[in-house]
């Protein structure tokens, strides 16, 4: 009887570990080029102060005037607070320069390094000053 119960518990534990694998994979940055900082000038369209990661949506126009809709993922709000961010740090219409690590596949998604506001104020997202763009 104890052996049967142990098998059942072991099987349930293995099942739970297998189900949780997508959660562990979510926190990776393998899809982003973390060796190259991309600099984008744009306009904030939305800022979502949410867990597990806040999201910054912004529009960027290229030299030909073509508009691209970008999103930058940040740290969780609790970590952002430690860097001086607040829920209202960014507002629609804010003109910004975004330093980020872009997706390797060319998608307009990224992981935020920092944002520089039009007045020069810097909002750092990932642990310190951004390296110079390459």
CATH of the domain at 113: 2.40.50.140
Least confident of 4-8, 94-98, 113-117: 4-8
C-alpha span between 14 and 29 (Å, rounded)? 26
pLDDT reported for residue 28: 67
**Residue 118, pLDDT score:** 97
In a domain, 98, yes or no: yes
Is the pLDDT score of 33 beyond 60?
Answer: yes
Q: Residue 111: is its pLDDT beyond 60? A: yes
Would you say residue 105 lies in a domain?
A: yes
Residue 5 has pLDDT above 80, yes or no: no
What pLDDT score was predicted for residue 30? 86
* pLDDT: which is higher, 10 or 80: 80
- Mean pLDDT for the stretch of residues 112-131: 82
Establish if 18 belongs to a structural domain.
Answer: no
Look at residue 1 in the predicted model and tell me its pLDDT. 59
Whether 37 shows a pLDDT value over 90: the answer reads: yes
Q: Quick check: is 10 in a domain?
A: no
Q: What is the pLDDT of residue 27?
A: 54
Q: Given this model, what pLDDT does residue 29 score? A: 78
Q: How many domains does the chain have?
A: 1
Confidence label for 13 from pLDDT (cuts 50, 70 and 90):
very low
- Give the other-Cβ count within 10 Å of 114's Cβ: 19
73 occurs within a structural domain: yes
- Which residue range forms the structural domain that includes residue 93? 38-124
DSSP codes, 9-49: HHHHHHHHHHHHHHHHHHT--TTB-TT--EEEEEEEEEEE-
How far apart CA 44 and CA 99 sit, in angstroms, is: 14
């Amino acid at each position: 009887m104890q052996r049967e119960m142990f098998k059942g518990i072991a099987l349930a534990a293995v099942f739970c570990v297998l189900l949780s694998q997508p959660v562990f994979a979510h926190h990776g940055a393998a899809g982003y080029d973390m060796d190259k900082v991309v600099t984008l000038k744009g306009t904030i369209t939305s800022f979502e102060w949410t867990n597990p990661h806040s999201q910054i949506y912004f529009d960027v126009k290229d030299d030909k005037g073509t508009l691209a809709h970008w999103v930058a993922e940040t740290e969780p709000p609790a970590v952002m607070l430690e860097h001086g961010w607040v829920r209202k740090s960014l507002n629609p219409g804010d003109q910004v320069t975004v330093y980020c690590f872009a997706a390797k596949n060319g998608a307009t998604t990224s992981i935020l390094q920092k944002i520089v506001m039009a007045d020069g104020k810097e909002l750092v997202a990932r642990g310190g000053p951004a390296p110079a763009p390459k």
